[in-house]
């Protein structure tokens, strides 16, 4: 019998590691108001190759969410605002650019920062 990872693993883990987020569903539910959710925020380094092998140091940032907690899963185009949590600073506002499921009840949302254009 398959294990219910959501109940056995994700709920306890999210109780410890998740932080409150606000999702504006511009992509998944256009016209609908923003709503609160929770997710585990994580970021890893990534090298972005540019012209002639020069490297731009950047990050890959994701938010893991429990699929069962969302009637309509967040999708590409949705905005995610992650405020400060306790002593942790606010990562800021992001746009969901990609999502993928692990097949066990958790979906990873790949995030891109919302920034003012420069120049």
Partner 1 sequence: MTVFSPLSRSIRLHGKTPVVTHGQLSYPLLLRDVILDHVKQMPFFASGFTFSTDKAQQIQPESLPFCGVYFLQEVGGADAEPQTGPIGFRTTVRIGFSVIIIYSDHAAGEYELDRAAQALSGLFSDPTLYNNSLVRVQGFTGLSRQHVFGNTGQNNETPVAELRWELICDLGTITYPPNITDDFETMHVETHYPFGNEDTPPVVVEYDLSQN
Binding stretches for partner 1 (CB under 8 A): 43, 46-61, 94, 97-98, 110-119
Q: Which is nearer to partner 1, 15 or 50 (CB)?
A: 50
What span, in angstroms and rounded, lies between the C-alpha atoms of 28 and 23?
A: 10
The region that residue 118 occupies, defined by phi over 0 for left and psi between -120 and 50 for alpha, beta otherwise, is beta
Nearest-approach distance from CB 55 to partner 1, in angstroms: 5
Nearest-approach distance from CB 47 to partner 1, in angstroms: 8
Q: Which is nearer to partner 1, 33 or 45 (CB)?
A: 45
What span, in angstroms and rounded, lies between the C-alpha atoms of 111 and 101?
A: 15
Nearest-approach distance from CB 2 to partner 1, in angstroms: 30
Report strand pairing: 79-82 vs 19-24.
antiparallel
Nearest-approach distance from CB 93 to partner 1, in angstroms: 11
Q: Which is nearer to partner 1, 10 or 94 (CB)?
A: 94
- For residue 107, how many other CB atoms are within 10 A of its CB? 19
């Amino acid at each position: 019998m398959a294990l219910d990872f959501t109940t056995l693993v994700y709920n306890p883990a999210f109780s410890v590691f998740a932080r409150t987020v606000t999702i504006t569903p511009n992509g998944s539910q256009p016209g609908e108001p923003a709503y609160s959710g929770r997710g585990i925020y994580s970021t890893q380094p990534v090298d972005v190759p540019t012209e002639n092998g020069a490297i731009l140091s950047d990050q890959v940032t994701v938010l893991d969410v429990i699929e069962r907690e969302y009637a309509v899963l967040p999708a590409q185009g949705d905005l995610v605002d992650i405020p400060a949590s306790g002593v942790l600073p606010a990562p800021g506002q992001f746009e969901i650019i990609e999502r993928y499921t692990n097949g066990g009840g958790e979906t990873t949302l790949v995030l891109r920062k919302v920034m003012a254009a420069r120049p």
